[in-house]
């Protein structure tokens, strides 16, 4: 399924995975690089469309918030709770 991206036209599934991997490894903090990068490398290829959408939304979140959620310093928003629990393992 192609995801419409107004600035570049439809995004292929392969391009989406590549973009998400890059965003996972090139965060604002090294801690989040080391948490999200390996997760993306091992999990993105097996995710369905809904899981990809959720992870893509997570990538838009602030690194400081993400780290606080993953480290248990703060509760994540409900929509990310299961994904954050998986990342924290």
**Domain for residue 28, yes or no?**
yes
- Residue (of 61, 60, 18, 57) closest to 40 by Cα position: 18
- Residue 47 · residue 75 · CB < 8 Å: no
What range defines the domain where residue 79 resides? 12-88
pLDDT tens for 29-79 read 999 999 999 999 999 999 999 999 999 999 999 999 999 999 999 999 999
**Domain for residue 6, yes or no?**
no
The rounded distance, in Å, linking the Cα atoms of 16 and 49 is 11
The rounded distance, in Å, linking the Cα atoms of 26 and 51 is 20
Number of domains in the chain: 1
pLDDT tens for 7-27 read 667 889 999 999 999 999 999
Domain CATH code at residue 53:
1.10.150.250
Instruction: Return all residues near 41 (Cβ < 8 A) that are at least 6 apart.
Output: 21, 24
């Amino acid at each position: 399924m192609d995801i419409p991206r107004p600035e570049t036209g439809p995004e292929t599934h392969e391009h989406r995975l590549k973009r998400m991997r890059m965003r996972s490894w090139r965060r604002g903090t090294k801690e989040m690089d080391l948490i999200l990068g390996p997760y993306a490398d091992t999990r993105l290829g097996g995710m369905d469309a809904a899981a990809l959408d959720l992870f893509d939304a997570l990538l838009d979140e602030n690194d400081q918030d993400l780290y606080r959620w993953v480290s248990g310093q703060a509760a994540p928003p409900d929509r990310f709770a299961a994904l954050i629990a998986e990342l924290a393992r």
